[in-house]
Amino acid sequence: MVRCEQEDCGWVAIAPSGRAAWRQYEEHVLAEHVETVEADVPDGHVQVRTDDGEWTTMEIEEAKDGRGDESPE
């Protein structure tokens, strides 16, 4: 079962297959938890909102791993 992990969000996918559930999740995240910002972001980087509501720029792999700036190298 695919659920949204955002705080205070109870969204759950209702789909006939795992692939369809992940597609629904992607659509949900884009519609409910993503916003467009005006910023110069270097190629290969993304902006991620931290727990304190601030934005930080990090490499795509860091964002995927959930490491951000807090993880030791």
- Domain ranges, ordered by start, for the chain: 1-34, 37-67
- Tens-digit pLDDT profile for residues 33-54: 887 777 788 999 998 888 888 8
- pTM exceeding 0.75: no
- Would the pLDDT of 71 be above 80? no
Which token pair is 28?
């949900």
Nearest C-alpha neighbor of 22 from the set 3, 46, 48: 3
Average pLDDT rounded to a whole number, residues 52-65: 87
Give me the chain's average pLDDT, please.
Answer: 86
**H/E element, 27:** helix 18-32
